[in-house]
Amino acid sequence: MNLVWSFILIPFIAICLIPFLKMKGKAIAVYSVISFIALLTGYLAIQTLSGENVHLTLPGSLVSGPINLEIDALSAWFILIINFGFITGGFYGLFYMKAYINQPKNLNLHGILFILLHASLLSLCVIQNSIAFLVAWEIMALSAFLSVIFEHEKVATLRAGINYLIQSHISILFLMIGFIWVASQTGSYDFSAIHNYSLTHSEPVSLILFSFFFIGFAIKAGFVPFHTWLPYAHPVAPAHISGIMSGILIKIGIFGILRMLLLIQVNYTTIGSFILVISIISGIYGVMLAILQHNLKKLLAYHSIENIGIIGIGIGLGCIGLGTNNPVLSSLGFAGALLHTLNHSLFKSLLFFTAGNVYQATHTLDIEKLGGIVKKMPQTSILFLIAALAICGLPPFNGFISEFILYTGLYHWFQDAQMDSLISIIFTVTALAMIGGLALMCFTKAFGVVFLGNPRHAFQHEVKEVPVLQLMPLYAIAAFIILIGLFPKIFMDILIQPVQLFTGLKKLPFAGFQSNDLEALVSISHASWYLIVMVLLILGIKKWVLSKSTVTVSPTWSSGYTAPTARIQYTASSFVKTYSKLFGLFFLISKREKETQGIFPSEAHLETHPYDKIEKWLIDFPTVNFKIFMGRFRFFQNGKLQFYILYGIIFIISIISIPLLYDKIIQVIDFLKQL
């Protein structure tokens, strides 16, 4: 209980003190509280993963009843992910936010929101009470919304923030329906009531109940077609908030789905097939749209949708394994999903932080205006490259490990699959391969256009590397990316406890992993590192041999042109022109072109703007038609006072008349029933 009070009181005291501290004191206070909470909850999480669950009960209120808090293996895994993300993101934010030092009021609020966001995310992992869960969810949503609109003076930022806020509350609406449904039938708000209710009702009822919770959590996670808020909110937020939203915040949706799978007894084969289909669509659609983007952070945002799809594929395979009594498939599916949750939080936060470095140095995220950054910011460039290789699932980095686990699960499913299962396996393997290939294409474009070649735009200020201290958390993240790639067994052993919650397997060394699979995984990872070490050694020898030679510096080779210019380089659009034509049916691409005259025109201009077709169909089309429909009633708002008085009189008469007519209405209803 003392730990709970520490978790509440210390952040509360810090929040009260922040407005009265000097600028340096504010930063120290915020980061100290984040670090304290992380150490406290991290200790409990590690204790849980060692086999000792933590359980506490708070008195609650007359409405909510007792509030149970529990850290099980699933909670512990997500708590560790959240804490690492906030420790690295918070440290990076200390330096990133120095650019806004002339906005003390905004920084006060931003620091307070950062603490609240961290505390609310951790609370969601341990709360076992519906009302308390919804309160923490609302605090998380509002904290994230206000953090996103830090630069609220920009119209685009405000629009993106409001878009996120509206869709967050649609998510809350679906969660409320699920919680109220169970509470109305059981009289309890405790999560155990959800489990007991599903046990005593038929599969269709449990399936509908799970659907409400799934939609609520899927909106937060960013599954297609619930993803439309994500590509707007991530790019406009400060870089450390973007990294936390993509790396941490959307994972709470994944946590919610996994938690409901533990609570609600459903037909796992049906649920697994549904999640598998929607995840494949999310993965492919996300990466296909990412390739077309010209804004670096928006490109990364669409890759969040892609990776949520990969995590969902793992969850789907795990559920199918449970439904078909295939312990190997279920273990590998859930293990791959949980490990990829960690992996994505690492390489995606690193990508957003390096994009933030680029933005601070150049004041733009437009890929078409960038180029040659590697010469000015070599450390940022290398860190971006490491994260890009990891997100593409290439060895020897962490993304390869989790995707290899999913492929291994599919291989074991294939061995005893029936015809209908074979079709699912073929589509899933094809989807994972497509996602990996398209991701590689996208980041080849992103890294090549942004960091290689010559600058495409003449900046009025010096472009230079960010301070070393700002790079420290980025190197820490990169170290974990490499560590997971080099020593995957360490993290697989940690995953035993969370996976056992779903499978119940306790005897196998890794809940279904065969020794050959593990040896192959480690061998591939080590072989890749041998190759990297060999290449670095050769480059070192080359540098040593040529150290005394005369070095000539000249512009990057430009295809043999005698008058080279940056304009003859590939742009972000021209790089994917063939791709956009090939898959043009799936996209909405508008063009803005300035007509040219003569054989050698002095000036030409062409812009392409990709747009999300699903957003147009599901968001824009209904919204526009609703506005048109409501516009038909504008005559009510005619500006004449006598009409407004008349409306009030009609309303009062209606309120008085309804009770008087109540008995007659009941009589009419009874009469109709008799007929």
Pull the structure tokens for residue 63. Answer: 């409405």
Pull the structure tokens for residue 574. Answer: 């021209």
Mean pLDDT, residues 558-581? 71
Pull the structure tokens for residue 606. Answer: 């062409």
> For the chain, what are the domain ranges?
1-189, 267-545+571-576, 583-590+607-632, 635-675
Structure confidence at residue 232 (pLDDT):
92
For the chain, the average pLDDT equals: 87
Question: 629: left (phi > 0), else alpha (psi -120 to 50), else beta?
Answer: alpha
Residue type, 602: S
Do 358 and 450 contact (CB within 8 A), yes or no? yes
Mean pLDDT, residues 583-596? 73
Q: Give Cα separations from 32 to 28, 42, 111, 139, 188 (angstroms).
A: 6, 15, 11, 21, 38
Q: Where are the alpha helices (DSSP H) in 392-495?
A: 398-415, 419-451, 468-486, 488-494
Q: Is the pLDDT of residue 455 over 90?
A: no
Structure confidence at residue 474 (pLDDT):
97
Q: Residue 66, preceding bond cis, omega within 30 degrees?
A: no
Mean pLDDT, residues 585-597? 71
- Comparing 214-218, 308-312, 354-358, 504-508, the range with the smallest average pLDDT is 504-508
Residue 402: partners with Cβ closer than 8 Å, 6 or more residues away: 310, 314, 336, 339, 340, 343
Task: Please tell me the distance from the alpha carbon of residue 497 to that of residue 47, in angstroms, as a whole number.
Answer: 12
Residue 228: partners with Cβ closer than 8 Å, 6 or more residues away: 163, 167, 612, 614, 615, 618, 619
Dihedral (C-alpha) 49, 55, 56, 62: value to the nearest 10 degrees? 130
Structure confidence at residue 673 (pLDDT):
66
Q: Is the pLDDT of residue 507 over 50?
A: no
Which residue has 């034509």 as its token pair? 581
**φ, ψ of residue 72 in degrees (nearest 5):** -100, -175
Task: Please tell me the distance from the alpha carbon of residue 638 to that of residue 626, in angstroms, as a whole number.
Answer: 20
The DSSP output letter for 570 is P
Range with the largest mean pLDDT of 205-219, 411-425, 573-587, 634-648: 205-219
- Comparing 305-314, 360-369, 472-481, 604-613, the range with the smallest average pLDDT is 604-613
Q: Is the pLDDT of residue 243 over 80?
A: yes
The three-state (H, E, C) secondary structure of 174-236, written as one string:
HHHHHHHHHHHHHCCCEHHHHHHHHHCCCHHHHHHHHHHHHHHHHHHHCCCCCCCCHHHHHHH
26 sits in which H/E element: helix 23-49
Task: Please tell me the distance from the alpha carbon of residue 621 to that of residue 619, in angstroms, as a whole number.
Answer: 6
Coil, strand or helix: which one is 127? Answer: strand
